[in-house]
Amino acid sequence: MFCDTKMWNDFIVQFFSTIAGGIVLATIFFILSDKIFKISDLNGCWHFKFTTTQTAYKKYNSMELTYVVLIWMEGKNIHGTGEKIKEKTVGDKEVDYVGKDRIQIKISGYLTKRYILKDKITIHIEEKGKERDSFSIQILKFKSNNLIGKLIATAADSEGDVIWTKQV
């Protein structure tokens, strides 16, 4: 009888110790995932500038394009819309797009959460151009309060550097 009571008491102690340990471990996990390793917040208004470094159409080499975009996230998925607001070509010819002349873009993408390296953001852009539609892919990483990276576009088979700045 003594062995049965002792075994039962040991079982109860071990059972509740395991439950308590599980609760503590789950709490630590949620604190780490929500506070320390949280998903980067990209929601808001951003400006990005694309500078062409390579292109099939030499007139577009070193061209700078500036866009304003509104981004929202659903988990790690990125959505957004935006407009081209400025174009600066070789010879410093600058065109500001205003009102109905602005060229609209649609944005989709994904944030890859990394725990040791910086998060990676992949953005796909569909641009409704005046002559034809074009598409681009951007691979971005955080640097200070900006996003920086590379862009590859179907327009003039362009490649270049891009920097995103969040508007406060």
CATH number for position 63: 2.40.128.120
Say whether both 18 and 63 belong to one domain. Answer: no
The ranges of the chain with pLDDT < 70 are: 1-3, 32-37
Say whether both 25 and 62 belong to one domain. Answer: no
Say whether both 48 and 25 belong to one domain. Answer: no
Residue 77 sits at φ, ψ, to 5 deg, of -85, 140
Say whether both 111 and 136 belong to one domain. Answer: yes
Q: Look at the chain and report how many structural domains it folds into.
A: 2
Tell me what pLDDT residue 33 has. Answer: 64
Say whether both 33 and 54 belong to one domain. Answer: no
Tell me what pLDDT residue 28 has. Answer: 76
Say whether both 17 and 88 belong to one domain. Answer: no
Say whether both 67 and 14 belong to one domain. Answer: no
Tell me what pLDDT residue 58 has. Answer: 86
Asked if residue 19 lies in contact with residue 38, where contact means CB atoms within 8 angstroms, the answer is no
Tell me what pLDDT residue 3 has. Answer: 60
Q: For residue 143, what are the domain limits? A: 44-166
Tell me what pLDDT residue 49 has. Answer: 98
Kindly compute the dihedral angle of the four CA atoms of residues 41, 44, 47, 51, in this order, to the nearest 10 degrees: 40
Say whether both 21 and 87 belong to one domain. Answer: no
